[in-house]
Structure 1
Amino acid sequence: MDLLQRCLWSSLGVVALVYVLVKFSLGYWKRRGILHVKPKFLWGNISEVLRGKKHVQQLLLFLYESYKGRAPFIGCYVLLKPFVLVLDLELVRNILDSDAGYFTSRGLYNNVAREPLSGNLFQLDGHKWRQLHAQSAPAFAASNLHKLLPQLLKTSRTLQLELGVGKQDLNVSQLLDCYNVESIAKIAYGLSSEDLSEFSLMTRSYWSNWSLWRAYLALELPLLARLVRHRSYSQLAMDYFHKLVEKQLQQQRKRDRQPLQSFLQLFDATDEALTDAQIAAQAFGFILAGLQPLNASLAFCLYELALQPELQDRVRAEIKQVMKATEGQLTAEGLKQLSYTKQVLNETLRLHTPYPFLLRRATREFELSNSIFVIARGNNLVIPVAAIHRDPTIYVKPERFDPERFRPEAVLKRPGMSFLPFGEGLRGCIAKQLAEQQLLIGLVALLEHHKYEPSADTQIPMRYDPGKLVLMPKTDIKLSVQWLEPH
C-alpha cells in the first residue's frame, strides 16, 4: 500500500510540475504586458492547424485581421513556444531591410555534423550562413542565369511535347512536377534527361519520415535533438543526393573548359572554395526550398487562367507576339518583354502565396522607434505574408484574381513591403531571379500552343491542403487541355 501511495503521489507531483511549467510558458506575453492571443493549454494558438481543420494561412489571416491597427505586433504561441506576429508594414521593413542586422536568423533546425545537407542557406544561421551566403551569391548573377537559359528552354520544349495535340483531361499538378524536377536536375545537378528516374523518386521521398511533433521538438530543443541524433530527412535520400553530387563533381573536374551547364560548376568555382559537402547542401536547397512552391505556383496560375479565358487569351497573344519577334526562339531579352505574363505570375504569387509566412529570430534586442515596444533577444517572429497579400486596404477585393494590380503605376501606389513572395532584404530568396525565369519559361511553354479549361474533375473553388506548410492544393489540379492549331 505504501508503494502504491508513493507512486500515486509521485505521479501527481509530476503532473503538477508539468502543469506549472506549461502555465509558465504560456504566460510569457502576459508577464511582458504585450497584447496577445489567449492560448489554449498545451496547444497554444494552433490547435485547429494541428487538427487539420485550418491551413496555417487561414489562422494567420484571422489573427492579422483581428489585431491589425491595435499594435505593431502581438504575441501568440506555437504550442508552448512564444512568437511575435508582425502586423505593421513599417516594422516588416525594419525586420527585413533597414534593421535586418538584428534579425539575420531564421531559427530553423540544422545539424551539419549529422545531416550535412542541412548545411544549406535555407536552414543555416549566424556566421556559417553569412560566410556561405557571401561565397554563393556570385553564382546567382544575372550573367550566369543567361548562360543557363538554354537548359531551361530545352526542358520547356519537353513539357510542350508532353501536352501533345488534340484535347484531353490532364493532371496538371503531376505534369508540372515532372517539368520542375527535370529543370532542377539539369540546372542544379547537371543531370541528363536519361538519369531522372531515381532523382525524381528521391525528390518525393526525402521527407518520408517527417513528423510535425519531432520537427517542433527539434526547433524548441535543438541541443537535445542533436544529442538524440534527430534526423529531419530520410537517410536513404540524403545518401543518394550526397553521392550524386560527388559523382557529378568528379566527372565535371575531368573535363576542361566545358560550357556552363549547372550550378555545381558555379559552386565549384567560387573565389573561396566550397567543400564538396557544402556544394551538395546548396544543390539540395534547390529541392528543399524551390520544388513544391514552383509546382504549386504554375498549377495555380493555370487554374486561374482556365477560369478566366479572356486573361488566358491576352497572355497567349503576348507570348506569340514575343516569340514572333524572336523568330520562335525565346531569349533573355524576350523574357523581359513578357510584361503582362509577369503580371499574371505576380498576381498568382499574391493570391496563392507559396510560403504563407516568413520566420525570423531576433539576435539582439530591438526597440521600435517612437514606441514603448521592444522585441527581446531570442524572440521568434512570424511575418504573415499571405495575410498582407490579402489585406483589403492594400489590395481591393483581394480574393479576386486581377493581374492589373501589378501594372507599374499600380505597384508604385502601394506601400513598400506589401508584396513579399520571395521575402526581401538580407535573407530574401537568393534564387529569386532563377525562380522567376523558370516560372516564366514554363508558362510560355504551357500557353503558346495550348488552351486550358475547367474539366469535370476540376475542384472549384480552390481548397488548400491543411497538412502542408507550403501552400498546396488539397487535391491535384486537373484541367482540360486543348492543342491550338497554328493559324
Structure 2
Amino acid sequence: MDLLHRALLTAVGALSLFYALVKISLGYWKRRGILHEKPKFFWGNIKGVVGGKRHLQDALQVIYAKYKGRAPFVGFFACLKPFVLVLDLELVRHILVTHAGNFTTRGLYSNDGSEPLSGNLLQLDGHKWRALHAQSTGVFTPANINKLLPRIVLISRGVQRSLGKERLQTLNINELVDSYNLDVVASMAFGLSADHTEFRLWTQSYWGKFSLWRAYLALEFPLLAQLLNHKSYAVSAMAYFQKVVLGQLQEQRRRDRQPLQTFLQLYSNMDQPLDDVQIAAQAFGFVLAGLVPLNATLSFCLHELARQPELQDRVRAEIRKTLEQHSGQLTTEGLKELLYTKQVLNETLRLHTPYPFLLRRATKEFELPGSVFVIARGNNVLIPTAAIHRDPAIYEEPLRFDPDRFETEAKRTRPAMSFLPFGDGLRGCIAAQFVEQELLVGLVTLLQYHRYTPCSKTAIPLEYDNGRLLLMPKTGIHLNVERVDN
C-alpha cells in the first residue's frame, strides 16, 4: 500500500507540474497584455487541426476575420507555442520588406551536421543562410532561368505524348501533373535524363516515419533535437538523393562544353561554387519546397477551368495564337505574351494558396512605427497568406474564381502585400521566376490540344486534405479529357 501511495503521489505531482507548465505557456500573451484568442488547454488555438478534423488554414481564417481591424496583430497558440498572427498589411510589409533585417529567420529545424541535405535555403537560418543566399542569387538570375526554358519545353512534350490521341478519356489530373513536375525536378535539379521510377519512389517516401509531434518538438526545442541527433527525413532517402547528385556532378565534369540545362551546372559553375554536398542539399530543396505545391497548383487550375469552360476556351485561344505568332515554338517572349493565362495562374494561386502561411522569427525587437505594439526578439511570426487572399475587403466575392482580378488596372487598386503566393522581400522564394515558368509551360502543354470537363468522379466543391500543412486536394481530381486538335 505504501508503494501504491507513493506512486499515486508521484503521478499527481507530475500531472500538477504538467498542468502548471501548460497554464504558464498558454498565459504568455495575457502576461504581455496582447489581444489574443483564448486558448484551449494544451491545444491552444488549433484544436481539431492535429487530429485532422479541420485544416490549419481554417483556424487561421477564423481568427483573422474575427480580429482584423482591431489590432495590427494578435496572439496565437499552436498547441503551447505562441505566435504573432499578423492582421495588418502594413505590418506585413514591414516584416517582409522594410524591416526584413529584423526577421531574417524562419525558425525551421535544420541539422546539416548529421543531416547534410537539410542545409538548403528553405531550412537554414542565420549566417549559414545569409552566405548561401548570397551565393545562390547568381544562380537564379532572369538570364539563367530563360536559358533553361528549352529544356522545360522538351520535358513538357512527354506530357502530351502521355495524353496520346485518344478522343475522350477520364484521368486523375493529380497523377498527370505529377508526372510533368517530377520530370522537371528530376531533370533540372538532379540532372537525371533516363527513367525516373526510382526517383519518384523516393520523392514519395523521404519523410520516412513522419511524426507531427516529433517535428513539433524539434521546432520547439531545436538544441535538444540536435543533441539527440533528431533526423527529419528517412536516412535511406537522403543517401539516395545525395548519391544521385554526386554521381551527376562527377559525370558532368567529364564532359566539356555541354549546353546549359540544369541547376547542377549553374551551382557548380558559380564564381564561388558550393561543395558537392551543399549542391545536393539545394537539389533536395526543389523536392522539399516545390514538388507538392506545384502539383496542387496545376491540379486546382485545371479543376477550376473545367468548371468554367468559357475561361478555358479563352486561355486555349491565347495559347494557340501566341504559338502561331512564334512559329509554333514556346519562347521567353511568347511566355510574356500569355497575359490571360498568367491571370488564370495567379487567380489559382490566390484562391488555392499552396502555402497558406509564411513563417518568420524576430531576431531583433521590432516596434511598429507610430504605435505601442512591439514584437519581441524571439517571437515567432505567422503571416496568414491564404486568409489575406480570401479577405472580402480586398477581393470581392473571394471564393469566386475570377482571373480578371489580375488585370493591370484591378491590381493597381489593391494594397501592397495583398498577393503573396511566393512571399516577398529578403526571404521570398528565390526560384519564383522558375516556378512561374514551369507552371506556364505546364498549362500550355495541357491546354493546347485538350479540353477538360467535370466527370462523375469530380469532387464539387473541392475539399482540402486536413492532414497536410499545405493546401492540397483531399482526393484525386478526376476530369474528362477530350482531344481538340482544331
TM-score range, shorter chain: over 0.9
Deviation (angstroms), 1:95:
0.3
Name 1:278's counterpart in structure 2: 278
Name 2:455's counterpart in structure 1: 455
Q: Secondary structure at the match of 2:74?
A: strand
Name 2:180's counterpart in structure 1: 179
Name 2:334's counterpart in structure 1: 334
Name 1:295's counterpart in structure 2: 295
Give the Cα–Cα distance (whole angstroms) in 2 for the partners of residues 120 and 435 of structure 1: 17
Give the Cα–Cα distance (whole angstroms) in 2 for the partners of residues 45 and 61 of structure 1: 12
Q: Is 1:189 aligned to 2:190, yes or no?
A: yes
Give the Cα–Cα distance (whole angstroms) in 2 for the partners of residues 4 and 455 of structure 1: 64
Worse-matched range after superposition: 308-317 or 262-271: 262-271
The percent of aligned pairs where both chains have the same amino acid is 64
Deviation (angstroms), 1:7:
2.3
Deviation (angstroms), 1:51:
1.8
The amino acid of 2:271's aligned partner reads D
Output one character per residue of 1:136-190: Cα deviation in whole Å (capped at 9) or x when no partner.
1111111111111111001111111111221000001001101000011111111
Deviation (angstroms), 1:232:
0.7
Name 1:17's counterpart in structure 2: 17
Name 1:480's counterpart in structure 2: 480
Deviation (angstroms), 1:416:
0.1
Retained in 1: the 8 A contact 2:36–2:75? Answer: yes
Give the Cα–Cα distance (whole angstroms) in 2 for the partners of residues 412 and 138 of structure 1: 31
Moved over 6 A (4+): none
Name 1:59's counterpart in structure 2: 59
The amino acid of 2:114's aligned partner reads R
Give TM-score, length-normalised by structure 1: 0.99
Output one character per residue of 1:190-249: Cα deviation in whole Å (capped at 9) or x when no partner.
110x23111111111111321111100000011111122211111111000001111001
The amino acid of 2:450's aligned partner reads H
Retained in 1: the 8 A contact 2:191–2:245? Answer: no
Name 1:106's counterpart in structure 2: 106
Name 2:412's counterpart in structure 1: 412
Return 5+ residue gaps in structure 2 as ranges. Answer: none
Q: Secondary structure at the match of 1:205?
A: coil
Deviation (angstroms), 1:460:
0.4
Deviation (angstroms), 1:428:
0.2
Deviation (angstroms), 1:40:
1.0
Give the Cα–Cα distance (whole angstroms) in 2 for the partners of residues 376 and 13 of structure 1: 33
Give the Cα–Cα distance (whole angstroms) in 1 for the partners of residues 72 and 249 of structure 2: 49
Give the Cα–Cα distance (whole angstroms) in 2 for the partners of residues 370 and 174 of structure 1: 51
Give the Cα–Cα distance (whole angstroms) in 1 for the partners of residues 31 and 369 of structure 2: 22
Deviation (angstroms), 1:331:
0.4
Give the Cα–Cα distance (whole angstroms) in 2 for the partners of residues 246 and 51 of structure 1: 40
Name 1:80's counterpart in structure 2: 80
Question: Would you say how many aligned residue pairs link Structure 1 and Structure 2?
Answer: 485
Q: Secondary structure at the match of 1:360?
A: strand
Deviation (angstroms), 1:306:
0.2
Give the Cα–Cα distance (whole angstroms) in 1 for the partners of residues 237 and 175 of structure 2: 21
Name 1:151's counterpart in structure 2: 151
Deviation (angstroms), 1:303:
0.3
Name 1:464's counterpart in structure 2: 464
Retained in 1: the 8 A contact 2:181–2:295? Answer: yes
Retained in 2: the 8 A contact 1:390–1:399? Answer: yes
Retained in 1: the 8 A contact 2:351–2:398? Answer: yes
Name 2:46's counterpart in structure 1: 46
Pairs within 5 Å for 1:348-387: 348-387=348-387
Name 1:198's counterpart in structure 2: 198
Deviation (angstroms), 1:10:
1.9
Deviation (angstroms), 1:6:
2.2
Name 2:425's counterpart in structure 1: 425
Name 1:435's counterpart in structure 2: 435
Retained in 1: the 8 A contact 2:389–2:418? Answer: yes
Deviation (angstroms), 1:297:
0.3
Q: Is 1:262 aligned to 2:244, yes or no?
A: no
The amino acid of 1:5's aligned partner reads H
Worse-matched range after superposition: 438-447 or 270-279: 270-279
Give the Cα–Cα distance (whole angstroms) in 2 for the partners of residues 485 and 345 of structure 1: 23
Name 2:142's counterpart in structure 1: 142
Give the Cα–Cα distance (whole angstroms) in 2 for the partners of residues 387 and 81 of structure 1: 21
Deviation (angstroms), 1:272:
1.7
Give the Cα–Cα distance (whole angstroms) in 2 for the partners of residues 19 and 341 of structure 1: 54
Retained in 2: the 8 A contact 1:218–1:225? Answer: yes
Q: Secondary structure at the match of 1:250?
A: helix
Give the Cα–Cα distance (whole angstroms) in 1 for the partners of residues 335 and 214 of structure 2: 43
